[in-house]
Structure 1
Amino acid sequence: MPTRALGRAVLLTGLLLIAGVLLGRVDLIVLATPFALGTGYALRRRPSAAPELRLAADDVHLIEGGLVTGTVTVGNPDAVTYDLVVVRTLVSPWLRIDATGLAGDDRMRSRLRPSRGVPDRPFAVAVSSGDEVDLELRGTALRWGRQPLGPAAARVAACDGLLASRPALTGVRGVRVYPVTEPFDADEAMPRAAGLVGGHRSRRPGEGGELAGVRIFGPGDRLRRIDWRVSLRARQLHVAATLSDRDAEVVLLLDVLAEVGRSGGVNGSASVLDTTVRSAAAIAEHYLHRGDRVSMLEYGPAARRLRPASGRRQYLTLLEWLLDVRVEPSPYEPYDHVFGPHLLSSNALVVVLTPLVDPRSAEMLARLARSGRVVVAVDTLPEGSAPPRRGPWTEVAHRLWRLDRENTIGQLREHGVPVVAWAGAGSLDLVLRDVARLASAPKAIGR
């Protein structure tokens, strides 16, 4: 398609020729001749094929703070050399592109752009006939999620800038950025076990590697369990009693009814959703590494579920599942929609990640506790969170809301639901220890 430069050249040439003919001035015709000859010479060879444009992104296991790389390839299938190709790529604001340049060109790659997101000006390069040029995009992934890279657009200028092509577009490439797993470890025993064999020390006697004591030999005891030193000293057969090793099922319940705070990326402030996703990934990684079964639920209108399983495949599936977590407010009570019949095992440890902002979240915790399940609530509300709008009564209202929230947490603890703030490693140790003791304590039976 013609550019403004071609329009100006044709207009100037035409005006000079018309003025020369009407006024009878040869000098004006002579003056128009170079413009006419130059325009005709530039248009002697015009490109007939559109540029080929491809966008690629490295599909690697990328976590927050990692290096993201992409490539925009511009090809010239025509027999005419492109004078100039202008390329620009849309990038997610959570992908900070720091360096843009030609592949293999250190001088071009050294052009850093400190601003976050898309480079603020397009990149221009000349492409010879039948050649391809690769444009590298390198930067940092600032936040978890499926971050879009693209589309990329390229526009070709030829015939000394007199002609330009229509923009060639590519599709969008999704860059999967997994949440960074904060250090987490829980050394306490699980409150309840769902299987007979696993990696957790049980408080019940059985086959295992943890010594529970020495007792008198009885029917059914194995001969290899006989403690000969004690037997010779007591002149009666004694066996070494052990505690059984049992596995557990952990259900991570993500409260997605409300969002509080503003996300600042991997090195900035964390919102409720950031804390929820990162802590869920850390807790799941810990228990899956120990051989337990982990499942996930969303407490929201979508009610997404991830079936319980164990192993590395479950961990990778879980990370993919977390990439699609979104806050979805709902005017309805999603309890019956989320917790269908026989969905939660009675022996599962239910870890609820919630900011306790919506009153329905506290009601859900109380109902789970009344159903007899072991529930632990992890408070994901950021410290120092404040309302986005300020007014004369904002501070007073926020303090009253904080007091009401503390009363709700106290009522939950009275109902047997421990509430602990997420603090990385060891966040749940004390809570799991107390819950395990309560679960193993003898129950009173009415007569």
Structure 2
Amino acid sequence: MTEPRIRLAVPPAQDLDEPGTGGPAWVPTRALGRSVLLTGLLLVLGVALGRVDLVLLGAPFAIGAAMALRRMPRSAPEVTITADEEYLVEGGEVHAGLTVANPDVIDYDLVVVRTRTSPWIDLENADRPFAIEVASDNWTAVELSGKAGRWGRHEVGPAAARVAACSGLLACRPVVTEAHALRVYPVTEPFAAVEAMPAAAGLVGNHRSRRPGEGGELAGVRPFAPGDRLRRIDWRVSLRTRDLHVAATLSDRDAEVLLLLDVLGEAGVSGGVNGSASVLDTTVRASAAIAEHYLKRGDRVSLLEYGANARRLRPATGRRQYLTVLEWLLDVKADSADEAAYEHAFGAHHVSPDALVVVLTPLVDPRSADMLARLTQSGRYTVAVDTLPDGLAPPARSQWTPLATRLWRIERDNVLGRLREHGVPVVTWAGAGSLDLVLRDVARLASAPRGR
């Protein structure tokens, strides 16, 4: 899917300084040209015909132009774009503004300012020019407000301003300022997984492990041994057996969750936060929700792209990691390249053996199914999340016939069936509780004894 084009609203940037002068280029307007032409014509006719009335008729035009040009501006206007620097989420309010400052001692008669906006930043009246007046050594602001339609890195601007001075006889060339970047984070879909993790590898955390240690889950009662804490003594069993016994517990540990994003292709058309969702929209929003859930539980979360770039975010925990995850997701793009292999950038050895691998994939590329099979065969705890929206046609440059689309759907269902037969659980993303049943089965398989 190609990115939407920015609407053309301002001219391209130009060199505002005149060669050799070091100052802004002020050019005469058509009003000055008509005034000079009319004055010269009346003077020539008056002298040629010997009529004084024609000379007197052209005198006001000459005097008016001379009085207007007696003080010419020397400085160009300063245009600034301001926008929210706060935490912006899809569908949230965006407050932006254009500020035009006049550093000169001459008043600007009229300033016409206009700006570009990204199609996903819907600002009111941003597609029309604004006419304002700016006094000398002063500034005027134009406020723009709207909503952010989609996650990603967007821009407000560039903006251009054209100034008229000296009663409209002079105009400055367009002053173009750079765009202001905005970061719009994906909206977090509700997600909660209450099932236990298949493996807990850290030292402390919220998940029950199979190893004895300090925790809240009772593992049994055993005889007292040196090093046991007195508060662990089970007095009821000790009085009955006449020997000290302590309550043994299972340690609570954290887990690592690897979110593997399949970016080999894009399908569907993004309609923003209130419209239809493409594959990338579903992938990014689901990743943000899953990461937020597990980071709040104290787990370590890492991200990895399955594509030519193979971007990776190292595992960490805490709110700082959550903000880093959101920033990392802003740069997720579909990889439309048709290179054959990605094994040089991705392999099972890059995945921790105790990590829960959540693969978000539309399963429209055969390489995605092969990657899932390799992860499962390597012994990784893998869960596949289907991010293809319901009723979506296959990604293609040409229009597919209904029969071809039906055959493609049947083939894709066969791929899903083969993955499940090879032990790869596949679940469709549906928000809260999407992974509960799958995680329960994975945790049950992880707790079973493994053959050597």
Normalization by structure 2: what TM-score?
Answer: 0.88
Q: Which piece of structure 1 moves more, 131-140 or 157-166?
A: 131-140
Does 2:54 align with 1:47? no
Q: Which residue of 1 aligns with 2:102?
A: 76
Shift of 1:135: 2.1
- Judge conservation of contact 1:195–1:247 (CA < 8 Å) in 2: yes
Shift of 1:207: 2.6
- Cα deviation, 1:121-156, whole Å, max 9, x if unaligned, reads 211111111111122222211111111111111111
Q: Which residue of 1 aligns with 2:374?
A: 367
- Cα deviation, 1:358-416, whole Å, max 9, x if unaligned, reads 11111111111111111111111112213588999611111111111111111111111
Q: Which residue of 2 aligns with 1:102?
A: none
How do 1:260-409 and structure 2 match up within 5 A?
260-339=267-346, 342-386=349-393, 394-409=401-416
Equivalent position to 1:439, from 432, 446, 451:
446
**Aligned AA for 1:19?**
L
Q: Which piece of structure 1 moves more, 292-301 or 5-14?
A: 5-14
In the alignment, the residues of structure 2 paired with residue 120 and residue 21 of structure 1 have an alpha-carbon distance, to the nearest angstrom, of 52
Equivalent position to 1:142, from 138, 149, 155:
149
- Judge conservation of contact 2:233–2:245 (CA < 8 Å) in 1: yes
Identity value in percent: 69
Q: Which piece of structure 1 moves more, 389-398 or 360-369?
A: 389-398
In the alignment, the residues of structure 1 paired with residue 66 and residue 53 of structure 2 have an alpha-carbon distance, to the nearest angstrom, of 20
How do 1:83-98 and structure 2 match up within 5 A?
83-98=109-124
- Judge conservation of contact 1:251–1:349 (CA < 8 Å) in 2: yes
Normalization by structure 1: what TM-score?
Answer: 0.89
Q: Which residue of 2 aligns with 1:178?
A: 185
In the alignment, the residues of structure 2 paired with residue 273 and residue 393 of structure 1 have an alpha-carbon distance, to the nearest angstrom, of 21
Decide whether aligned partners of structure 1 residues 387 and 20 sit closer, same or farther in structure 2, where only a CA change above 3 A counts: farther
Secondary structure of the residue that 2:181 maps to in structure 1? strand
- Judge conservation of contact 1:299–1:334 (CA < 8 Å) in 2: no
Shift of 1:293: 1.0
Aligned residues: 425
How do 1:94-173 and structure 2 match up within 5 A?
94-98=120-124, 113=125, 119-173=126-180
Shift of 1:355: 0.7
In the alignment, the residues of structure 2 paired with residue 150 and residue 337 of structure 1 have an alpha-carbon distance, to the nearest angstrom, of 40
In the alignment, the residues of structure 1 paired with residue 399 and residue 262 of structure 2 have an alpha-carbon distance, to the nearest angstrom, of 32
In the alignment, the residues of structure 1 paired with residue 274 and residue 252 of structure 2 have an alpha-carbon distance, to the nearest angstrom, of 40
Secondary structure of the residue that 1:18 maps to in structure 2? helix
Q: Which residue of 2 aligns with 1:64?
A: 90
Shift of 1:26: 4.1
Does 2:241 align with 1:215? no
Structure 2 unaligned residues grouped into runs of 5+: 1-26
Shift of 1:78: 1.2
Shift of 1:76: 1.1
- Judge conservation of contact 1:303–1:337 (CA < 8 Å) in 2: no
- Cα deviation, 1:70-122, whole Å, max 9, x if unaligned, reads 23221111111110111111111111112xxxxxxxxxxxxxx4xxxxx2221
- Judge conservation of contact 2:115–2:127 (CA < 8 Å) in 1: no
Decide whether aligned partners of structure 1 residues 240 and 221 sit closer, same or farther in structure 2, where only a CA change above 3 A counts: farther
- Judge conservation of contact 2:106–2:135 (CA < 8 Å) in 1: yes
